[in-house]
Amino acid sequence: MAIVYAGCGNSTGTACGLFEYVDPLFTIVEAKNAISGTPVSPVYLSSILFGDEPLPAEFLTYANAYGVNVVGDRLRCTVPCGFSSLQGEYQFAIGGAGYRDTTITLEGRYGRADGGCPSRFYDGVEITLALTPL
């Protein structure tokens, strides 16, 4: 019977399992009023799903997140902000004070990964938002 390690190896031949997320998976680079074009910050993410499963907002704050914090069951983002590192399909409602929540679905994939030990992930998804006032 052979044991196979999935992942990267190190100089001793054992599995490394180290991952470095150089960039956040998602970066909200801009949020603006859809009518006037004025900047909107902060924005809030709620009703977060990963695949078909609810995902607590705090799970988005690991690794290299910046400009975000958890407020109740929502993620508060001071634009620009970056969050998450877990690749896959996401759905969440996003809005701000005085703005209608909009539900969006995004496939979160890094654009570049360098193998080795550790493996490094770069070039996440950039998001630009135009929010509708209430």
The CATH number that domain 19-131 falls under is 2.60.40
Q: Is there a cis peptide before residue 54, judged by omega within 30 degrees of 0?
A: no
pLDDT tens digit sequence for 38-97: 999 999 999 999 999 999 999 999 888 999 999 999 999 999 999 999 999 999 999 999
Domain boundaries, the chain: 19-131
Between CA 40 and CA 116 the distance in angstroms is 40
Q: What is the pTM of this model?
A: 0.85
Between CA 33 and CA 38 the distance in angstroms is 5
